[in-house]
Amino acid sequence: MPVGSASATTSPTTVQERSRVRQPYPNYRVIVLDDDVNTFQHVVECLVRHIPAMQPDQAWNLAQCIDSQGSAVVWSGPQEQAELYHHLLGAEGLSMAPLERA
pLDDT at residue number 21: 77
Please give the residue range of the domain that contains residue 86: 36-101
pLDDT at residue number 10: 60
- Cβ atoms of 28 and 75 within 8 Å: the answer is no
Q: Residue 80 domain-assigned?
A: yes
Q: Please report how many Cα atoms fall inside a 13 Å half-sphere around the Cα of residue 16, on the Cβ side.
A: 3
pLDDT at residue number 4: 58
Angle at which helices 79-91 and 40-50 pack, to 10 degrees? 140
Q: What is the reported pTM?
A: 0.77
pLDDT at residue number 25: 84
Q: Residue 45 domain-assigned?
A: yes
Among residues 88, 90, 74, 95, which one has the least CA distance to residue 29?
A: 74
Q: Residue 81 domain-assigned?
A: yes
Q: Residue 65 domain-assigned?
A: yes
Q: Residue 10 domain-assigned?
A: no
pLDDT at residue number 8: 57
Low-confidence ranges of the chain (pLDDT < 50): none
pLDDT at residue number 32: 98
pLDDT at residue number 16: 67
